Chains A and B, each alone.
Chain A
Amino acid sequence: MMKVWAYIHPELKILCCALLQESIPDNVEAIEFEVENPNDIVYDGSQIRLKTQDEKLQELKAQKLSELKTYVTSLLAQTDYIITKIAEAQIQNDTAEVEALKQKYSTQLQQREAIRAWNEQMKQSIKNAKSLDELLSLEIKFEETQNA
């Protein structure tokens, strides 16, 4: 736990937290808090207060969902060229080529499906998490065995 001193910055009009008491600007009324992290404090428009457990949970959920999106995008990017090839064949109405490409890259296409299915499961798990511990225990890592 650490002490912080929260105040509304007189010029910037934003919430600030001094991590040292001496860092509070002159002529500013600051409120002392004891927190695990300075980001645990919020200004809700009327008062400076500690974030509720639910607010922390929703914040972490948003962070986890963002991490998941970046991760899945990077996983799919590795085989995006296959989708481009198939799309080009479709644009040219070359159905034989489309089928040939689907055959050639069937393993990769199955893996993409597995990644998308895992992504949906993860999204639901994140959204359904009831506590910070439950959320933190969710590992954002696609295992190759999930492709089997």
Chain B
Amino acid sequence: MIVPLNGVGVLDLSATYVKSSVYTFRRVDLTGATSDYNLQVGEEAYISFSNATSVPLRIATQSGTYYEMDLISFVTLKTGTGAAIFLNPNNTTYSNAFTFMNVYINDGNSNVVGNKNTYNAFRITWSGAHARVYIHNVTVAKSVKSLAHMWDSSSYGCAIAIELTYWNDTSTAWTSLGTVTFPQSYSGYILVRRLA
């Protein structure tokens, strides 16, 4: 974070530095929130979780908004397992309403490979590790793309992936950013920054 200081080391709030388009992110702790918070542009939500299989973000949203989200997880995967992590918009699953595609490269081989699939929610990553997720909410074109460092205890080992999921339905309003669901109990934290 860059903090502008004036000549005597005091926070510079003068017109020469402070412009309407300049801001730093203000962190809001939504851990344990029980109702949706209306995250503003320039605000960052922080949600920590421990041994959870689902984490409601508790963030209200509307058409025309754009977010970036970091998912940082600390998990020891059960042997032989690996499964997708989802963002369920409106805290709901919608059967086969999401189209997913990705490209990835992993420990198993040196070729870039791809997958396409249908899911009941936005897939944001696979198994453990961390992901940067971009969330685009425009009712007629709702999508989530992620840059993910994935970890699988069985088939693939470590992988880097670019993933995209779009919501086939172009009429349902996305009003609550949703709930992140995990394939087993996870601990970690989530940061959501509203960019627009």
Which residues on A are within 8 Å of B, measured CB to CB? Answer: 2, 4, 9, 11-12, 14-20, 22-23, 36-39, 43, 67, 70-71, 73-75, 77-78, 136-142
Q: Complex formed: what's the CA distance from A74 to B109 in Å?
A: 7
Known A12-B97, A38-B181, A39-B93; contact A19-B54, beta-carbon cutoff 8 A: yes
Asked if A43 and B95 sit within 8 Å, CB to CB, the answer is yes
Chain B contacts for A137, CB-based, 8 A: 79-80
Asked if A141 and B155 sit within 8 Å, CB to CB, the answer is yes
Asked if B94 and A19 sit within 8 Å, CB to CB, the answer is no
Q: Complex formed: what's the CA distance from A77 to B79 in Å?
A: 28
Q: What is the minimal beta-carbon distance from B97 to any residue of chain A, in angstroms?
A: 7
Asked if A74 and B113 sit within 8 Å, CB to CB, the answer is yes
Asked if B155 and A19 sit within 8 Å, CB to CB, the answer is no
Asked if B179 and A19 sit within 8 Å, CB to CB, the answer is yes
Chain B contacts for A142, CB-based, 8 A: 108
Q: Complex formed: what's the CA distance from A87 to B91 in Å?
A: 53
Q: Complex formed: what's the CA distance from A18 to B56 in Å?
A: 12
Query: What are 14 A-B pairs at a CB distance below 8 A?
Result: A16-B93, A19-B54, A22-B91, A23-B90, A23-B91, A23-B92, A37-B181, A43-B95, A75-B109, A78-B110, A136-B78, A139-B80, A139-B154, A139-B155
Question: B188 on the interface (CB 8 Å rule)?
Answer: no
Chain B contacts for A17, CB-based, 8 A: 92-93, 120
A-contact 0/1 string along B61-105, CB 8 Å cutoff = 000000000000000001111000000101111111100000000
Question: B53 on the interface (CB 8 Å rule)?
Answer: yes
A-contact 0/1 string along B153-196, CB 8 Å cutoff = 01110000000000001011000100101010000000000000
Interface centre among A16, A75, A137 (most CB of B within 10 A): A16
Question: B111 on the interface (CB 8 Å rule)?
Answer: yes
Asked if B183 and A37 sit within 8 Å, CB to CB, the answer is yes
Question: B115 on the interface (CB 8 Å rule)?
Answer: yes
- B179 to chain A: closest residue by CB: A19
Q: What is the minimal beta-carbon distance from A22 to any residue of chain B, in angstroms?
A: 8
Q: What is the minimal beta-carbon distance from A34 to any residue of chain B, in angstroms?
A: 12
Asked if B94 and A12 sit within 8 Å, CB to CB, the answer is yes
Known A19-B56, A139-B155; contact A39-B120, beta-carbon cutoff 8 A: yes
Asked if A19 and B88 sit within 8 Å, CB to CB, the answer is yes
